[in-house]
Amino acid sequence: MNQPALPLLVEPEQLRERLDDPRLRIVDLSDAAAYSQRHIPGAVHLTYAWLVRKTPPALGLLPDEQALSAVFAEIGLTPEHHVVAYDNEGNGRASRLLWTLDVCGHRAWSLLNGGSHAWFNEGHPGETGMNTPEPGHYPVSLPAEPPALADRDWLMRHLDDPGVAVLDARSPAEFDGIDVRAARGGHIPGAVNLEWTRVLDRERNLRLLPDGQLQALLSERGIHPDQEVVTHCQTHHRSALSYVVLRYLGYDRVRGYAGSWSEWGNDPQTPVEA
């Protein structure tokens, strides 16, 4: 795979200068109606539901290799592409795609800072209709234990590991067991709470907060770069953005718990705190 063509977090101005770069695959994960109405020139649409495997009660699991290969083919992706992802709702959906790429070993990717909010509110060009790329060829072969993925058993083995931190991106009410969205409310023992929207700057078109403020939010919660950090929410949608933030800040060991609370909170064998 080629070296990344853009930084992990890319500004609209940087992307605009590279719209004609054939190495880029720009992927819009907004809803289909919003994409059809207006999207970044050259962007292809990806339906978010294709990135999750629902096995009730767990509703956010990673699809299997065959399904992922089909998804990548649908957007015309090849191992040589650098993916730039964005959406219109805070970049949680876009980040789920980027985390999925990490799990698959595809590290050439960027998140568009501020997503479509920053792009269009700041006067960058758009187009309408649908872009249909030539089908790509990307046979996915997942490693036995992907370093970007945590499952329930992995978390159970590391609950008392001081070198592992669990970052819960749900709302404080969900974390405290007031807003119950599974058989049980509460949180994973030892987890800390940082609601996913806290990292967004509403004064700058939903860009990420400045690096220093992001680091402070994590430090206040006892999360440091020498730890291995696991992010989760209800279905690893909101927490995918938390994952990307940590990667952007230079955390080398980050995992996403795909099962998240829809799995953990519905399993009577897993411990819960409230």
- Residues 37-61: pLDDT tens digits? 999 999 999 999 999 999 999 999 9
Report whether pLDDT(2) > 70. no
Summarize pLDDT for 106-129 with one digit per residue, the tens.
999 999 999 999 999 999 999 999
What is the predicted pLDDT for the residue at 269? 97
Q: Do 50 and 71 contact (CB within 8 A), yes or no?
A: yes
**pLDDT digits 0-9 by tens, 123-143:** 999 999 999 999 989 999 999
Sign of CA dihedral 217, 227, 196, 210: positive
Answer yes or no: are the C-beta atoms of 165 and 219 closer than 8 Å.
no
Contacts of 36 (CB under 8 A, 6+ apart): 128, 129, 130
Mean pLDDT over the full length of the chain: 97
What is the distance between the alpha carbons of residues 124 and 121, in angstroms, rounded to a whole number? 8
* Pairwise CA distance, residues 187 & 238, whole Å: 16
Query: With 80 as the cut, is the pLDDT of residue 4 above it?
Result: no
Record the pTM: 0.97
Task: Decide if 233 is catalytic.
Answer: yes
Q: What are phi and psi of 257, to 5 degrees?
A: -90, 100
- Comparing C-alpha atoms, which of 28, 205, 20, 13 is closest to residue 129? 28
Cα three-residue angle 36-51-174, rounded to 5 degrees: 100
Confidence of residue 3 (pLDDT cuts 50, 70, 90): low
> Which positions ≥6 away from 210 have C-beta within 8 Å?
201
126-144 burial, b at 16+ Cβ within 10 Å, e below that, comes to eeeeebeeeebebebeeee
Q: Which residues lie below 8 Å from residue 200, measured CB to CB, with a gap of 6+?
A: 90, 206, 207, 208, 209
Structural domains of the chain, with CATH: 9-121 (3.40.250.10), 149-264 (3.40.250.10)
Kindly name the residue from 84, 103, 112, 233 that is annotated as catalytic: 233
> d(Cα 188, Cα 185) in Å, to the nearest integer?
10
Q: What is residue 127's predicted lDDT score, i.e. its pLDDT? A: 98
pLDDT digits (tens, 9 = 90+) for 51-107: 999 999 999 999 999 999 999 999 999 999 999 999 999 999 999 999 999 999 999
| Element housing 256 (H / E) | strand 254-257
